[in-house]
Amino acid sequence: MRDAPCRRPRRLDAILADAARGGFAMSCEHRTGSLLATLAASKPGGRFVELGTGVGAGAAWLAFGMDATARLTTVESDEDVQAIARRHLGDDPRIRWVTADADAWISEQVPGEQFDFAYVDCRPGKYLRLPDLLALLKPGAVYVVDDMLPQNTWPEGHQSRVDEFLERLPDVLNWRATPMNWASGLVVAARI
């Protein structure tokens, strides 16, 4: 079976070209993106959150799967990096751009069942503040993280964070999680 995506967001190539020109090497890879789009399509009218916009590859894939009534809030601390995403996706009224530290953004949220889907591509919401992020998800919400397999962009000592996260998975209350040795290494979970 060939697991390459059969369809891609039309703006993705331009986003990735700008990322390469800017030296940004942490975009979500195509198989992960295709899964994001597929899972997003399962939440019509859903409220989505992405922690770690980067240059917008993940947001492009999520928007590709979302219907016209769905909404995405995407959070990124680096204004210059997020500017690439805004340049390519800023005309999509379904996307709300937040330039803030994800940890601070989580702190500002009122606990309650607000989101149907979370894609986390930064430390807060994955290695830090996981219970606080989960408190924002509705029952049945999908939670996806990537980069669980070693990456060239990892800082020294990062493997221990990943190992601790994966070891804690069975003990996290109110969710079912499946770690996947596929693409960049994923965890797909559902809030119960």
In a domain? residue 53? yes
Positions in the chain whose pLDDT score sits under 70: none
**pTM, whole model, 2 decimals?**
0.93
Tally of domains in the chain: 1
Tokens at residue 103, please?
């940890």
- Burial class from Cβ neighbours inside 10 Å (0-12, 13-18, 19+) for residue 177 reads middle
Query: How many angstroms separate the CA atoms of 122 and 76, rounded?
Result: 9
DSSP codes, 37-51: HHHHHTSTT-EEEEE
In a domain? residue 180? yes
In a domain? residue 60? yes
Range of the domain at 167: 28-191
Supply the pLDDT for residue 128.
94
Supply the pLDDT for residue 8.
87
- Burial class from Cβ neighbours inside 10 Å (0-12, 13-18, 19+) for residue 84 reads buried
Q: Read off the CATH number of the domain in which 84 is found.
A: 3.40.50.150
Query: How many angstroms separate the CA atoms of 183 and 119, rounded?
Result: 15
